[in-house]
Structure 1
Amino acid sequence: MTTAFLPGVLTGLALIVAIGAQNAFVLRQGIRRQHLGVVVAICIASDVVLIALGTAGIGFLIERTPWLLDIFRWAGVLYLVGFAVLSFKSALKPQTLEAAQEGGGSLRTAVLTTLALTWLNPHVYLDTVLMLGNLANQHGDHRWIFAAGAMTGSVIWFSALGWGARALSHVLNTPLTWRIVDVGVGLVMLFIAVKLAFMPGV
């Protein structure tokens, strides 16, 4: 059992730990102490669904509908660029933790942003559904144990990232830090948008 579960945990962590738009947003929400539980829950639930779909063999549909990934790609590019612009605008306004919380987005905005950054990213389908799904199915009867390990990796990572950032939020409570955070998030969003825009056809 552990021969499938532990590789699942490690593989899941390896795929999601890299800094991306989703991780940058979780980090931002953690530092701002805004709607963190909901954001982390959506990220974990989304990973669970995607990993389950891949393990169930849904990946072949993605391989046969590259046009669908193209739709997600360009929608994601537009969303990421817009988010980057808002982050840069926020960086122009010096603020503290209290000001960031008061001027922060609504719960609805946080939910929609988390869903968009997760489900409009075609890399999510390539990595989580196709790659993890294929790896899971290589474990035969133990494929769902592998999948459970990958899901556990997602729980560990997003919880640690979100609440780790939240724990450090008071230490980082300076206007300069908030500017750095907003600029950093904006740059990450732009970087991912460029990567998506020039991603070779799948």
Structure 2
Amino acid sequence: MVSCIIRDWQGQEAGETSLSLRVAKEASSAHVVHRALVRQMNNARQGTASSKTRAEVRGGGRKPWRQKGTGRARAGSNRSPLWKGGGVIFGPKPRDYSTKMNKKERRLALCTAFQSRVDSMIVVQDFAEQLARPKTKDMIQALSRWGVQESDRVLLITGEKNEMVYLSARNIDRLKLISSTNLNIYDVLLADKLVVTQSALEKIQEVYGG
């Protein structure tokens, strides 16, 4: 169990909460997290890259020149892989890159990765009511008060999608907004800072807690 300080809209301490997730053993944690990360990245690949073999390239039905007597090398088709405009040898074909991983193992990896980022996590009170209208400037100022640097890559996790928060955050460079239900290991590990609302942390604890 780890303790987290809750900050209000002004950046002041407004309380304390705890986070207790079931994590992998230290000896195997890196391996489990790596497998889950590779799985997510593989599953995001479309696998639509395709090239044509000599049988699929248009043309090449006629023998370019006779077999003997020209002094040139033998040629049976101008769509040979050795010719310009010919087919591709061992080129890519559409394939499925997806890999499987047990659900319990995926959850364990996500919990391990999330709890390992506690030192970079900033827990804030729900602030949707502070935004009467979409205002990117107000969101940037709030992030600054919470201790986020301009150069930091930020992952903002909210309990549920709010239109004002979304419109205020969407134009901020290096910031990604997700809800707690869309928590994933890639975004958690990629961010320099995790800004988590109190309601989002409670949902994460409820869903993934031991």
TM-score band (shorter)?
under 0.3
Q: Which has the higher helix share?
A: 1
Greater strand proportion: 2
User: Which is greater in Rg?
Assistant: 2
